[in-house]
Amino acid sequence: MKINWNYPTSVWVGEDRIKDLSQACKNLKISSPLLVTDKDLINLDMVKNVILEIKKNFNNLSIFSNFSGNPIGENVEEGVSQFQKNKCDGVIAFGGGSGLDVGKAIAFMSGQSRPIWDFEDIGDYWKRADETKIAPIIAVPTTAGTGSETGRASAIINKKTGIKKIIFHPKILPSIVILDPCLTIDLSPRLTAATGMDALAHNLEAFCAPGFHPMADGIALEGMRLVKKSLLICAKDGKNIAARLDMMVAASMGSTAFQKGLGAIHSLSHPVNAQFNIHHGLSNAIFMPYVLTFNKNLIEKRIISICDYLNLKKNFESFLNWILDLRKELSIPHKLSEVLEQDKINLDQLSKMALEDPSTATNPKKMTVDDMKILYEHSISGKLF
């Protein structure tokens, strides 16, 4: 199967589509690409083979990989410096969420004069950018979680404040995405689980976010169905190509849908990711049932309305139990205290950061700093609302 989609951008889907990467560069008139991937991926044979293939077609390939998970602003600055020094004219963002976010941010910042924090996703800050100087981007995900390949933002940590910021511009959306399930078959069961739960969180929160956006709702619902159908299969049989493709599509769908909004799952996660380097998908998975039950009175009817499609009994409890059982089968901890020592947790600080997170604005229930603190306390004790 080889299919090309043009929603929300040009998406090249199918087994071994990575072989079309050089053609993607040519389509976008990229002659001197900067390949951006993290320091863990760069040494894998899979990536080395991709680099060798690109070098057959391009004399001027540059590589930037001096970063890891939960990237910081300085990583982007270093990448921009390399982009400019080597006179690159486009970016291949390759990898999981960190590789895609850094690659997109480098392409965005390569022609800007203001600091990256001036383009935080607040109001119309994005209009401060010179959009004519944003380099073309090709996104190649190697996990099925963040969906950053179909997103218009990058999540970057401001090291000085310890806060994860969402940097936004409509033209950060990659021009071509390559979804090749073969690139995910060696993903460990642990990372398959965490990234898959991230995809679920995106689709779930987008569906529950208030506001009128039927297209996002439909995409989010199908994204959840694909996660229910295939995540456990991927975790148990990583070489199942059909299931891997389902999860890649679900991740891309989640990112497409959450232009409608996210919610408190992400509000709680971002401070923990920034302060303690906890994997974003893992923290989303931990916080998910606490936020679901906290929001219950405002989302119960919406959740019940989709239970038939997800082949669940038509009540809120059946949906919640699916989430709890899924986490258990994936060996996802039930409590934050299972991955983080309690004496390291400053609830007042985290709660304030969570309340100020952009995702808070579209949580179904209006939040206060006390609400955030209670949610953190429940996630530590394991008590659901």
Positive or negative, the Cα torsion across 359, 361, 362, 364?
positive
* Integer Cα distance of 39 and 44 in angstroms: 10
> Mean of the pLDDT values across residues 49-73?
94
Tokens encoding 332 = 């996802």
Residue 106 near residue 66, CB atoms below 8 Å: no
* Integer Cα distance of 157 and 62 in angstroms: 25
So where are the chain's domains? 2-183, 188-381
Q: What is the CATH topology of the domain spanning 2-183?
A: Rossmann fold (3.40.50)
329 band by pLDDT with thresholds 50, 70 and 90: very high
> Mean of the pLDDT values across residues 83-90?
97
Class of domain 188-381: mainly alpha
Q: What is the pLDDT of residue 69?
A: 85
pLDDT in tens, 278-328: 999 999 999 999 999 999 999 999 999 999 999 999 999 999 999 999 999
Rg (CA), the chain: 20
Q: What is the pLDDT of residue 2?
A: 83
Instruction: Answer yes or no: is pLDDT of 1 > 80.
Output: no
Give CA separation, 214 vs 211, 286, 297, 341, 380, in Å.
9, 28, 21, 42, 35
Prior bond of 8 cis (ω within 30°): yes
Q: What is the pLDDT of residue 7?
A: 86
> Mean of the pLDDT values across residues 175-204?
97
3 band by pLDDT with thresholds 50, 70 and 90: confident
pLDDT in tens, 230-243: 999 999 999 999 99
Q: What is the pLDDT of residue 299?
A: 98
Question: What is the torsion angle, in degrees rounded to the nearest 10, for the CA atoms of residue 53, residue 55, residue 58 and residue 60?
Answer: 150
DSSP state of 2: E
Q: What is the pLDDT of residue 6?
A: 77
> Mean of the pLDDT values across residues 169-175?
96
- Ordered DSSP codes for 15-64: TTGGGGHHHHHHHTT-SSEEEE--TTGGGSHHHHHHHHHHHHH-S--EEE
Q: What is the pLDDT of residue 4?
A: 82
Amino acid identity of 369? V
* Integer Cα distance of 239 and 237 in angstroms: 6
Per DSSP (E only), the strands in the chain are: 2-5, 10-14, 33-36, 62-64, 90-95, 137-141, 153-158, 163-168, 176-179
Q: What is the pLDDT of residue 282?
A: 97
Instruction: Answer yes or no: is pLDDT of 5 > 80.
Output: no
Which uninterrupted H or E stretch holds 347? helix 347-356
Q: What is the pLDDT of residue 16?
A: 96
Q: What is the pLDDT of residue 151?
A: 94
Average pLDDT over the chain reads: 96
Of 228, 380, 375, 377, the C-alpha closest to 292 is 375
Tokens encoding 230 = 């295939």
Which of 6-10, 113-117, 359-363 is predicted least confidently?
6-10
> Mean of the pLDDT values across residues 91-101?
96
Q: What is the pLDDT of residue 301?
A: 97
Positive or negative, the Cα torsion across 61, 62, 67, 70?
negative
Q: What is the pLDDT of residue 343?
A: 84
* Integer Cα distance of 267 and 350 in angstroms: 10
3-state secondary structure of 72: strand
Q: How many CB atoms lie within 10 A of CB 72?
A: 17
> Mean of the pLDDT values across residues 195-208?
98
3-state secondary structure of 155: strand
Strand pairing of 62-64 and 163-168? unpaired
> Mean of the pLDDT values across residues 100-120?
97
Q: How many CB atoms lie within 10 A of CB 190?
A: 14
Q: What is the pLDDT of residue 355?
A: 98
Of 235, 139, 226, the C-alpha closest to 187 is 235
Q: What is the pLDDT of residue 294?
A: 98
Q: How long is the chain?
A: 385
